[in-house]
Amino acid sequence: MTPVEQKETAMQYVDEFRDPALAKSLLKQIARVAAQISRPANRPLQIMEVCGGHTHAIFRYGIEQLLPPNIELVHGPGCPVCVLPMGRVDDCIAIAEQPDLILATFGDAMRVPGSKKSLLQAKAEGCDIRIVYSPMDALELARQNPLKRVVFFGLGFETTMPSTALTLLQAEQEGLSNFYLFSNHITIIPTLRAMLEEPDMSIDGFLGPGHVSMVIGEAPYDFIASEFNRPLVISGFEPLDMLQSLLMVLQQISRGEARIENQYRRIVNSAGNDPAQRAVEAVFELREHFEWRGLGSIDHSGVRIRERFARFDAEREFALPNQSIVDPAECQCGEVLKGQLKPVNCRLFGKTCTPDKPMGALMVSSEGACAAYFKYGAPQLIATAGGEG
Amino acid sequence: MCLGVPGQIIEILDPQLNTALIAVSGVRRQVNLTCVITEGVQPSALVGSWVLVHVGFAMSLIDEDEANKTLQLLAELDELKDALQPLQ
Amino acid sequence: MNKPETGFKADTITLAHGSGGRAMRDLIEGVFVEIFDNFQLSSLEDQARIILSDLQSCGDRLAFTTDSYVVDPIEFPGGNIGTLAVNGTLNDLAVSGARPLYLSCSMIIEEGLELDQLKRIVCSMKQAADAANMQIVTGDTKVVPRGKADKLFINTSGLGVIPAGINPQASGCRPGDKILVNGFIGDHGATILNARGELALDVELESDCQPLHELVECLLHVCPEVHAMRDATRGGLAAVLNEFAEQSKVSVKLWESAIPLRPEVRGVCEILGLDPLHFANEGKLVAVVPAEAAASVLKAMQAHPAGRDAAMIGEVQADAVGRVFIETGFGGTRILDTLNGEQLPRIC
């Protein structure tokens, strides 16, 4: 008996990139090209998907276990929630605990542990914390609550920066005096460089973050090819996008090439998005350094609000503890991030470190490699227990 | 790291604020169009266009030609697979 | 919803209505007794008295269940907290195969609740109970100061009788069994999320809140030996199937593309990064039936209005891992786990 197929609830620009038949032929090509690449024994090709959205999709669609065994996907640092250091969460809670204040945040941040508690716990203790879909919704809260201070917890990479920048510009235009931004925005390029500069860096190629790229364009990745001789293919987020990008990376490796390519042309313009870049440039400036959970401090990897917008800056408005809290010594997130260790081989995985009580960065959000392994299952487990049928 | 979803612009709400209504699979939501408006183009010209939406902002106009090219390439790969099979 | 005129006059509920004095008596007699309208309540005793021989004629076991209902907002498209409180408890009885018979209704009211709203809710409870031939035979009312509850909490307990020979159990799934669901998944969860308005989405969706006892009757008629049956409320389809897999010591395989999902629910999930399989349902059941009976059960379900969009969504496999696997429409496989807490919207 075959499953009953429901009538398709098609979504344009989504469903056509989830076609299982096309995926099969892509997988065949991937296997063919991967087989042509000569490798030392026991050393699979390591391809890093930089972006947490890719990590999520890889697990959501069960892509990893469809790949030939000589390809290993390494789940990169592109999850802004995972890499948020505990000290910044503590700062955010210190803000939320002020009287007559509403803290607005994306839902992702609610469970990220600080040194003592998460925002979810702070909310349970009485803080007024609201989950919003857009920073513009936080601005609306400020309009509706003129007697309260409304602070937006700004999180995310270059994709999200323009939206908070534009929200701040809007707040300025309206002359709102009760709206603040707590900027924890980070930028991926310096972190990629820092990882590539590590002496034991073993990644053979990269899937580039599609939605970051639609803002910054292709050029910022050039150094990966020119200085480090690794290919990078900017990839979309549907399963066919990712398989096609993977094939493009493998084709480059098999030909001994290292170039920056763009698979996601329907969304990513090679120069990026000009209005978005201008908004970011107007509002933000690079910090000297910013701390990443699991990776430590990285130069020029975060942005703060420019002097001109000081009156909207939560860091200037509130006296923050601003403490750096070191990750637990037992955590091996750094090694997992660099592809030297699989999540399941971490000594804490599933024992003292679970999505309920995460110890390390990668267990924090469902985009973190460890949380994804825990939630959706390591490929080996699926292959042995549920793959057939 | 950044959830983005394709939506279609169905109505301009406020041309001054660059706000519009988009539809995603029967769900409507207000979004900001600033990042997809080029100088000299009226927002109203964008009604019917598809955009990639992230946190309430249209971040990119979806290029239908490029989408079709990608799908075309995938279809060619698929045919190539059949051509290769007898050799394997 | 029609709003019968009652003799009780007051605009809002105050603490006096829970004080045990005259105001409380007015509320109970003027609203609950009048609207629920049955002799058990009208006799104003402290308990309902149920005739045993009537019960015995329906089957050989009592089914007894209780549930408390808290929902924000208390009225939403497709229902309200009252219809939930009746249908939810009714469905908990029905999925045992029981014929649902009696309900209790206990309300905790926050002072300041508008009387009209309370009456609307009580009326819809009466309608829901009538539709299932159930009687609300005993109850209680408390009023708490403002801020000590959120408008209205309702507890209902339900009593039903299970016919001899019917015994679906969460531990009853056997390898080879097929898994059926009676329609679209996630409507209630998506409706409530949308009705709260915090995420500023605009979508036409209704809760699937509905009674399932008739559907269960149709199903049992063609397959009395149904192995497992649950309504997929909080925690959604994911929670029910994980319970089945764990308790039956089997694994469950779902076909993602076979799971009925409305485009609007899918849209909400794509925008907010949520999984519809974790959304609550208030009128959906999961039935696990022997493979040879699956086609006829599916047909019987589809013939009933509450099962019109029923589908076969998966099967039981022998691996004793107690897990649920989803074969994605795309060809891969992943684990479907239960949630650790509330599902939160995400941007990344």
CATH of residue C98's domain is: 3.30.1330.10
pLDDT given for residue C235 in this prediction: 95
**B27 chain-C contacts, CB cut-off 8 A:** 201-203, 264, 267-268, 271
CB < 8 Å to B80, chain A: 25, 29
Claim to verify: residue C284 and residue C191 sit in the same structural domain: yes
Q: What average pLDDT does chain B have?
A: 90
Identify the CATH number of the domain in which residue C295 sits.
Answer: 3.90.650.10
> Which chains reach chain C with 3 or more Cβ–Cβ distances below 8 angstroms?
A, B
Q: What is the model's pLDDT at position A271?
A: 97
Write the residue in C201, C319, C330 that is nearest to A386 by C-beta: C319
The answer to whether the Cβ–Cβ distance between B1 and C348 falls below 8 Å is yes
Domain stop point among C162, C184, C202: C162
Question: Is C109 or B38 the better-scoring residue by pLDDT?
Answer: C109
- Taking the CA atoms of C187, C192, C197 and C200 in sequence, report the sign of the dihedral they define: negative
**CA–CA separation, A60 and C326 (whole Å):** 10
DSSP secondary structure letters along C204-262: ---------HHHHHHHHHH-TT--EEEE--TTHHHHHHHHHHHHHT-EEEEEGGGS---
- Looking at per-residue pLDDT, the higher value among C183 and A343 belongs to C183
pLDDT > 70: percent of chain A? 94
Query: How far away is chain C from the Cα of B83, in angstroms, using its nearest Cα?
Result: 23
pLDDT at C331: 83
Same domain, C54 and C93: yes
Q: How far apart are CA B74 and CA A22, in angstroms?
A: 7
Distance from CA of C125 to the nearest CA of B (A): 31
pLDDT band at A213 (very low <50, low <70, confident <90, very high): very high
Could you tell me the pLDDT band of residue C192, with boundaries at 50, 70 and 90?
very high
DSSP A306: -
Assess whether C181 and C314 both reside in one domain: yes
pLDDT at A217 over 70: yes
- The pLDDT of residue C8 is 65
Residue C200 to residue B28, Cβ atoms within 8 A? no
Distance CA A204, CA A230 (A): 6
What is the mean predicted confidence (pLDDT) over A217-243?
A: 97
Q: How confident is the model over C247-271, as a mean pLDDT?
A: 96
Answer whether C348 sits within 8 Å of A385, measured CB to CB.
Answer: no
Distance of alpha carbon B45 from alpha carbon B42, whole angstroms: 6
Amino acid, single-letter form, for residue A223: F
pLDDT bin (cut points 50, 70, 90) of residue B87 is: very low
Is B10 an interface residue toward A (CB < 8 Å)?
A: no
Both C99 and C238 in one domain: the answer is no
Q: With b meaning 16 or more CB within 10 Å and e meaning fewer, what string describes B20-46?
A: bbbbbbbbbbbbbbbbbbeeeeebeeb
A-C contacts at Cβ under 8 angstroms: 148
- Distance, CA of A268 to CA of A210 (rounded, Å): 7
Closest CA to C203 of C257, C258, C262, C282: C262
Together in a domain, C148 and C207: no
Nearest C-alpha in A relative to C292? A1
Shortest alpha-carbon distance between residue C230 and chain A (Å): 21
Residues C180 and C136 in one domain: no
Q: Which domains does chain A have, with CATH numbers?
A: 86-188+274-317 (3.40.50.11740)
What is the residue range of C142's domain? Answer: 15-162
The answer as to whether C4 is a domain residue is no
Structure tokens of A385?
């227990």
| Cα distances (Å, whole numbers) of residue A72 to A46, A241, A243, A245, A276 | 5, 18, 13, 15, 34
For residue C258, pLDDT beyond 50? yes
- Asked if C348's CB is within 8 angstroms of B24's CB, the reply is no
Residue C1's pLDDT is: 43
Please indicate whether, in this complex, the C-beta atoms of C319 and A79 are within 8 angstroms of each other.
no
Q: Residue B19's closest chain A neighbor by CA?
A: A136
The whole-number pLDDT of residue A365 equals 77
Reported as a single tens digit per residue, the pLDDT across C170-188 is 999 999 999 999 999 999 9
d(CA C287, CA C100): 18
Cβ-defined contact of A6 to C325 (cutoff 8 Å): no
Is some CB atom of chain C closer than 8 A to the CB atom of A134? yes
Flag if C266 and B25 touch (Cβ within 8 Å).
yes
Higher-pLDDT residue of B79, A261: A261
Mean pLDDT of C223-233: 97
Check C203 against B30: CB less than 8 A apart. Answer: no
Nearest CA in chain B to C273: B3
Q: If you count residue pairs, one on B and one on C, with CB atoms under 8 Å apart, how many are there?
A: 42
For residue C325, tell me if it sits in a domain.
yes
Whether residue C158 contacts residue C301, with contact meaning beta carbons closer than 8 Å, is answered with no
Helix/strand/coil for C61 = strand
The reported pLDDT for the residue numbered A30 is 96
Q: Do A26 and B77 touch (CB under 8 A)?
A: yes
Tell whether ipTM is more than 0.85.
yes
Cβ–Cβ below 8 Å for A32 and B69: no
Phi and psi angles of residue C344, each rounded to the nearest 5 degrees, phi first: -110, 145
Hey, is the C-beta of A80 within 8 angstroms of any chain B C-beta? yes
Q: How many domains does chain C have?
A: 2
pLDDT of residue A9: 60
CB < 8 Å from C in window 41-70 of B: 53-55
Residue in chain A nearest B64 by alpha carbon: A266
Same domain? C19 vs C119: yes
**Best mutation target, A7, A8, A9, to test chain C (most C CBs within 10 A):** A9
Q: Is A15 on the interface with B (CB under 8 A)?
A: no
C158 and C208 assigned to the same domain: no
Q: Which residue intervals of chain A are DSSP H helices?
A: 20-36, 52-60, 86-96, 119-124, 135-144, 161-174, 188-197, 210-216, 222-226, 239-254, 274-283, 314-317, 333-337, 369-376, 379-385
pLDDT of residue A340: 82
Q: What is the pLDDT of residues A70-84, one digit of tens each?
A: 999 999 888 888 889
Cα separation, C253 vs C335, in Å, equals: 9
Q: Is there a domain that residue C7 lies in?
A: no
Average pLDDT over residues B1-15: 91
Instruction: Tell me: pLDDT of C97 over 80.
Output: yes
CA dist C332 and C235 (Å) reads: 24
Residue A386 has pLDDT above 60, yes or no: no
Query: Chain A closest CA to C226's CA: distance in Å?
Result: 18
Chains near A (3 or more Cβ pairs under 8 Å): B, C
| Residue C247: inside a domain | yes
Contact C105, C139 (CB under 8 A): yes
Single residue among C106, C137, C162 that ends a domain in this structure:
C162
Q: Which residue has the higher pLDDT, A379 or A113?
A: A113
Of C198, C294, C334, the CB nearest to A376: C334
| Residue from A163, A240, A250 whose CB has the most chain B CBs within 10 Å, to mutate | A163
For C100-118, the pLDDT digits (tens) are 999 999 999 999 999 999 9
What are the tens digits of pLDDT across the range A43-61? 899 999 999 899 989 988 9
Which residue in this structure is represented by tokens 């699926």? A382
Q: Which chain C positions have a beta carbon within 8 Å of B3's beta carbon? A: 273, 346-348
Same domain, C287 and C155: no
Same domain, C158 and C174: no
* Residue ending a domain, choose from C162, C186, C219: C162
CATH T-level assignment (fold) for domain B5-87 = SH3 type barrels. (2.30.30)
The answer, yes or no, to whether residue B26 has pLDDT greater than 80, is yes
If you count residue pairs, one on A and one on B, with CB atoms under 8 Å apart, how many are there?
Answer: 138
Measured in whole angstroms, how far is the alpha carbon of residue C175 from the centre of its chain? 28
* From A68-82, B55-69, C160-174, C228-242, the region with the lowest mean pLDDT: A68-82
Q: Which residue has the higher pLDDT, A135 or A356?
A: A135
Together in a domain, C146 and C183: no
Same domain flag for C179 and C323: yes
Contacts of A62 in chain C (CB under 8 A): 326-328, 330-334
- Comparing A135-144, A194-203, C203-212, C271-280, the range with the smallest average pLDDT is A194-203
Confidence of residue A323 (pLDDT cuts 50, 70, 90): confident
